[in-house]
């Protein structure tokens, strides 16, 4: 949709100058952030992954460039805040549909077209977004935006003492109450489903945004009833907070926790069951990673490389976790883009704050109430992203908020501009340079060619086909090929196929779009190693060929991805009885894994298995003992190898 919008917008701005982007400090800083991210991608540890990300995340530079284009188109087409309101309202009403699907999921109500919502043993609602934390962040923003429209609709209602004078018929009463009723319904359902997600980060973001709203109204609104309502809400929030601090283990809270997932999640704060202890470890790894590459970081979407390189053995006591995001946006920017990317990122947020502070100083501004809640939604999004990261599901909310801030910035600049200051355009300066070189507009040969080229390009019969041709090329390369690759990957994983057919589908998925081929390759390696025993001779020959071929190609794309080395090694270990010479190659790969992920449990597991296959039982025992000394709580994860190395006879 963004690509289609940009295509049509390019045609529009060629013919209508008023729809071209206006000057904006926020857009300028966003541009700097985009360029810093591009530089970090090119100089990072995995440029291909930085550009294209993975099938799971679908972020990276390509995603960021799409969102940059989205913001440009949005602020150019919706040039006034009044025109932006309808987009925000549609966005909020869509969130109501998502929330209703979440309610259906919670209570097992089958909805046609959404069979994946029906799951047994559901603890946390995720609706259509696939992750409870994603829908929590999404609903949090929608709740605050709906609060802005609710505030505006309530502001239009007359005072209670004038009610009978103004509203003399039922139709007028219905019309006056309809808008507040809609927004109250949206807020109610969205908040209900938010509590069903158990997404504490989203709740903290909502609380931060709501507190900003309340204090803004407390100090800026002169209406006594509004101030009284604010005081009551603040007292309620304080009471609930004190309840969780001092009565968390009470029977009342325990009963509430059995009924509501959010209460249950809040009750675990600070306990051994609290997942934030794991998050703190990840943040520490992120800070260590930033210190290792402080200027431009490890590259966008390459946090997994930094994490696996720096994580310590004791992090794998319960399970072999895979971490590709630090679950803290600030740490993510520092670790993946360094100080060069972090400064413009924080500058964007600071400018958003400045924009709303300037606008909200004047209570008479027509969109004052909406601006309060837009500022609150921005604060809420920033706070919840201290516990999460940008996703495909939540990015739209952030870039809508950023676009809204740009429009408020431009509106304020228009109001502040008493007189138009004369400016010297860049084009005039450029013309002066041309004149000095003897290529002036009247007689310059270069100038005439340039002028004629511009005039020709502005002709619809010329620029429309060119733009549509570019659209088709970009669509084929950035959308069609990746989609086709994902389709074949899904087919290889899910459908019932023969071994050769499954190998073919994986191979085809990788060939369709090699830049996103890492996940299909890793799944291919897993399939080949797990199913080796049931392959016939022809299938084994094909398996070895594919393993060697795709390993060579994979390390060219992601040279620091230890899973590629380990995946190929496991295939060779499985094939070592028929092809014993592959063990030597596997040993070389494990040396590389030792460098890239020195303390991951998979590294020691693979090395111990390698020694057992080579018949070196003493070395296998030493490897296992070395890891258990670092992480004695992980013994159950290595139990099978321990039994083989220490208690069973190895043939």
Residue 563: strand, helix, or coil: helix
Q: Are 514 and 552 in contact (CB under 8 A)?
A: no
The CA distance from 141 to 382, in Å, is 11
Which residues make Cβ contacts (< 8 Å) with residue 46, sequence separation at least 6? 299, 301, 302, 305, 557, 558, 559, 560, 561
pLDDT at 169: 54
327 Cα distance to chain centroid: 10
Which residues make Cβ contacts (< 8 Å) with residue 144, sequence separation at least 6? 206, 209, 210, 213, 373, 376, 377, 380
Q: Are 92 and 149 in contact (CB under 8 A)?
A: yes
The CA distance from 250 to 252, in Å, is 5
pLDDT at 120: 65
Which residue is it, tokens 């676009």? 403
pLDDT at 426: 41
**For the chain, which residues score pLDDT lower than 50?**
417-443, 445-446, 449-450, 650-651
H runs (alpha helix) in 78-199: 81-106, 132-155, 163-166, 170-197
Q: 60: left (phi > 0), else alpha (psi -120 to 50), else beta?
A: left
The CA distance from 142 to 190, in Å, is 8
The CA distance from 382 to 60, in Å, is 20
Sign of CA dihedral 329, 59, 141, 345: positive
DSSP assigned state of 445: H
The CA distance from 638 to 187, in Å, is 49
Phi/psi at 299 (5° precision): 105, 140
Where are the domain boundaries for CATH 1.25.40 in the chain? 465-598
pLDDT at 369: 93
Contacts 24+ apart (CB under 8 A), 542-551: 542/500, 542/503, 543/503, 543/571, 543/575, 544/571, 544/575, 544/579, 544/582, 546/503, 546/506, 546/507, 547/571, 547/572, 550/507, 550/510, 550/517, 550/521, 550/524, 550/525, 551/521
pLDDT at 304: 94
The CA distance from 111 to 129, in Å, is 15
The CA distance from 634 to 203, in Å, is 34
The CA distance from 145 to 143, in Å, is 6
Task: Give helix 392-416 / helix 132-155 axis angle, nearest 10°.
Answer: 30
Q: Are 229 and 167 in contact (CB under 8 A)?
A: no
Which residues make Cβ contacts (< 8 Å) with residue 623, sequence separation at least 6? 604, 607, 608, 611
* 634: exposed, middle or buried (Cβ count in 10 Å: 0-12, 13-18, 19+): buried
Give the CB-side neighbour count of residue 2, counting CA atoms within 13 A: 18
Q: Are 75 and 21 in contact (CB under 8 A)?
A: yes
> Whose CA is closest to 306, among 649, 50, 631?
50
Which residue is it, tokens 């809040």? 266
- Tens of pLDDT, residues 516-549: 999 999 999 999 999 999 999 999 999 999 999 9
H or E element: which one contains 338?
helix 329-360
pLDDT at 437: 40
pLDDT at 397: 96
The CA distance from 13 to 52, in Å, is 29
The CA distance from 649 to 651, in Å, is 6
Residue 459: strand, helix, or coil: coil
Which residues make Cβ contacts (< 8 Å) with residue 54, sequence separation at least 6? 301, 324, 516, 518, 519
Q: Are 44 and 302 in contact (CB under 8 A)?
A: yes
The CA distance from 259 to 375, in Å, is 33
Which residues make Cβ contacts (< 8 Å) with residue 216, sequence separation at least 6? 360, 372, 375
This prediction has a pTM of: 0.88
What number of H helices and E strands is found in the chain?
A: 29, 0
Q: Does domain 465-598 have CATH number 1.10.1040?
A: no
3-state helix, strand, coil in the chain (%, to 5): 75, 0, 25
């Amino acid at each position: 949709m963004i690509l289609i919008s940009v295509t049509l917008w390019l045609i529009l701005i060629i013919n209508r100058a008023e729809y071209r982007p206006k000057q904006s400090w926020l857009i300028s800083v966003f541009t700097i952030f985009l360029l810093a991210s591009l530089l970090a991608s090119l100089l990072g540890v995995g440029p291909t992954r930085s550009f294209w990300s993975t099938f799971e995340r679908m972020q990276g530079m390509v995603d960021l460039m799409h969102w940059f284009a989205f913001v440009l188109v949005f602020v150019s087409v919706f040039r006034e805040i009044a025109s932006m309101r309808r987009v925000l309202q549609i966005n909020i009403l869509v969130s109501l549909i998502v929330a209703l699907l979440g309610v259906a999921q919670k209570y097992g109500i089958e909805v046609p077209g959404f069979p994946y919502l029906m799951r047994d043993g559901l603890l946390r609602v995720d609706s259509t977004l696939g992750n409870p934390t994603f829908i929590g962040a999404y609903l949090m923003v929608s709740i605050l935006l709906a609060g802005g429209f609710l505030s505006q609709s309530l502001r239009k209602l007359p005072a209670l003492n004038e009610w009978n004078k103004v509203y003399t018929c039922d139709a007028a009463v219905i019309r006056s109450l309809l808008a507040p009723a809609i927004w109250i319904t949206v807020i109610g359902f969205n908040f209900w489903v938010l509590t069903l997600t158990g997404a504490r980060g989203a709740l903290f973001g909502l609380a931060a945004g709501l507190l900003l709203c309340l204090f803004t109204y407390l100090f800026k609104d002169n209406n006594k009833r509004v101030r009284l309502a604010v005081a009551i809400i603040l007292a309620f929030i304080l009471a609930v907070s004190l309840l969780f601090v001092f009565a968390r283990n009470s029977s009342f809270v325990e009963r509430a926790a059995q009924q509501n997932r959010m209460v249950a999640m809040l009750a675990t704060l600070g306990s051994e069951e609290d997942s934030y202890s794991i998050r703190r470890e990840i943040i520490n790894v992120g800070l260590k990673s930033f210190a290792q590459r402080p200027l431009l970081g490890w590259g966008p979407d390459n946090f997994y490389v930094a994490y696996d390189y720096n994580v310590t053995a004791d992090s794998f006591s319960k399970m072999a976790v895979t971490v590709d995001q630090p679950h803290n946006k600030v740490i993510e920017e520092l670790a993946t883009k360094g100080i060069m990317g972090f400064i413009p990122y924080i500058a964007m947020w600071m400018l958003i704050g400045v924009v709303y502070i300037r606008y909200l100083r004047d209570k008479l501004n027509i969109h004052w109430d909406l601006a309060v809640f837009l500022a609150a939604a921005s604060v809420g999004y920033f706070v919840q992203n201290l516990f999460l990261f940008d996703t495909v599901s939540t990015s739209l909310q952030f870039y809508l908020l950023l676009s809204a801030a740009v429009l408020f910035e431009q509106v304020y600049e228009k109001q502040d501009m008493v007189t138009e200051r004369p400016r010297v355009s860049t084009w005039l300066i450029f013309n002066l340079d041309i004149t000095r070189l003897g290529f002036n507009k009247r007689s310059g040969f270069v100038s005439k060619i340039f002028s004629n080229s511009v005039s020709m390009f502005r002709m619809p019969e010329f620029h429309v086909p060119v733009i549509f041709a570019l659209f088709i090329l970009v669509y084929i390369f950035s959308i069609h090929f990746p989609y086709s690759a994902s389709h074949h990957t899904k087919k290889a994983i899910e459908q019932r196929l023969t071994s050769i057919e499954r190998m073919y589908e994986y191979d085809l998925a990788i060939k369709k779009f090699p830049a996103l081929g890492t996940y299909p390759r890793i799944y291919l390696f897993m399939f080949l190693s797990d199913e080796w025993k049931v392959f016939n001779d022809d299938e084994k020959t094909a398996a070895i060929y594919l393993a060697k071929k795709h390993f060579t190609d994979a390390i060219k794309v992601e040279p620091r991805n230890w899973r590629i080395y380990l995946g190929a090694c496991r295939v060779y270990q499985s094939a070592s009885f028929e092809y014993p010479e592959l063990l030597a190659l596997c040993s070389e790969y494990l040396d590389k894994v030792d460098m890239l992920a020195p303390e991951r449990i998979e590294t020691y597991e693979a090395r111990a298995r390698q020694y057992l296959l080579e018949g070196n039982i003493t070395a296998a025992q030493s490897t296992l003992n070395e890891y258990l000394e670092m992480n004695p709580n992980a013994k159950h994860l290595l139990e099978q190898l321990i039994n083989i190395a220490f208690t069973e006879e190895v043939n």
